[in-house]
Each structure stands twice: as C-alpha cells, then as structure tokens.
Amino acid sequence: MSNHHLPEHFTRTTPSGDTLERDVCDKCGFVHYRNPKVVAGSVVHHDGRILLCRRAINPRKGFWTVPAGFMELEETVSEAAIREAREEACANIIIDRVLAVYSIPRISQVQIMHVARLKEPAIAPGEESLEVELFDWEDIPWNELAFPSVRWALDQFRQVVDRDDFPAFTNPPGESGDMI
C-alpha cells in the first residue's frame, strides 16, 4: 500500500467543534479525517512448518513476512487475514484465534495477528510475493524478516505453539515497532 500524499491545497487547521488539527481543503472546506490503519495477518502453520512470503513490493521488497495487509472497508478482521493469505500466498487458511494486537504508533498502525492453519497444503506466490515457503523453525530467515512485528509474531507463536488457550499478546516490552 503506497502513501497517499495530500494535494498542496490542504491546510492544517482545527475545524470548529473539533479539538485537533486536521487537513482541510482550501477550496471546498472538506476535512480529511485520518485514523490509524488496521493490518490483519496470520502466523500460518502446517505440519509444524510456518508459511512466509518474500515481498515483491516495497516497503522491504525481498524480505520475508507473514501474510498480512491493510483491512478494506466492510470486512471483518478475520476476513481480511484470510484474504491477505489468499492474495500473497494463494493459501486457503483457517483462522483459529487471535495471537496478538500490536500498536506501531509512529506510523499509526494497529496490527491484529492470528494463529491459522492451511486448509489445503497448496501454496504459491501471489502478485505481491516473489516466493512463498513453509519453513521449519530452525530455517526461518531471521535476518531477512521484513518488519519487527513479524519477528514478534513468530516468537510469540512459538511460546504458545502447543496451547489452544492463551491470552492475546501485545508489543514485547519496550518495543515500539520502529525500524532501527
């Protein structure tokens, strides 16, 4: 998902009845409200291995991620996670539960990660992936993961891999999700 820059004829100002500055169109007064965006994704496992996708698009092209992406309007969180696995890995997944709710405040993102499994073993790279692969734990390319939250989700999944009853994780202590 690319950034969407505002035209220059939007000005930062506080609309009447509001308490925060917003971007307002100089020409028609349209207020461009912005809100945090939700990413829905999954740690997808199959026969003890974990599905990762190597990104074909920026940011972090060439690096590995779990299937995840921005929710569209009128979706549920799990519908979005299922759609992303289909789009990125041609994978048909079953969502089992919420793994984690992460906040990346610098970029105004909320990420909702699930534990999921493959309904059928077939996977293939979608348009946004260079390749997709089921990794044994010891073969995960830790130094080539796309985002901090991919590592968090994998680590936290590993902690609860044999449990079907665990509380949702949040950011690991002290981690904001910023790229270093």
- Write out the DSSP string of the chain: ----PPPTTEEEE--TT-SS-EEEETTT--EE---PEEEEEEEEEETTEEEEEEESSSSSTTSEE-SEEEPPTT--HHHHHHHHHHHHH---EEEEEEEEEEEEGGGTEEEEEEEEEESSS-----TTEEEEEEEPGGG--GGGBSSHHHHHHHHHHHHTTT-S--PPB-SPTT------
**Residue of 11, 13, 14, 108 that binds its own copies (CB under 8 A):** 108
173 lies in the binding site for its own copies (CB under 8 A): no
CB of 4 to its own copies, least distance (A): 5
Q: Map residues 32-71 to x or -, x wherever contact with its own copies holds by CB under 8 A.
A: xxxxxxx-------------------------------xx
Tell me which stretch binds its own copies (CB under 8 A): 44-52, 99-107, 116-124, 142-150. Answer: 99-107
Amino acid (one-letter) located at 55: R
For 23, phi and psi rounded to 5 degrees?
-90, 120
What is the total count of residues that contact its own copies (CB under 8 A)?
Answer: 44
Q: Of the two residues 129 and 134, which places its CB atom closer to its own copies in the complex?
A: 129
141 lies in the binding site for its own copies (CB under 8 A): no
CB of 180 to its own copies, least distance (A): 19
CB of 92 to its own copies, least distance (A): 20
Tell me which stretch binds its own copies (CB under 8 A): 49-57, 132-140, 145-153, 168-176. Answer: 168-176
* 79, two tokens: 């519908």
Tell me which residue has tokens 């461009």: 32
Binding site for its own copies (CB under 8 A): 4, 6-7, 9, 20, 25, 27-38, 70-79, 97-98, 101, 103, 105-106, 108, 110, 112, 164-168, 170-171
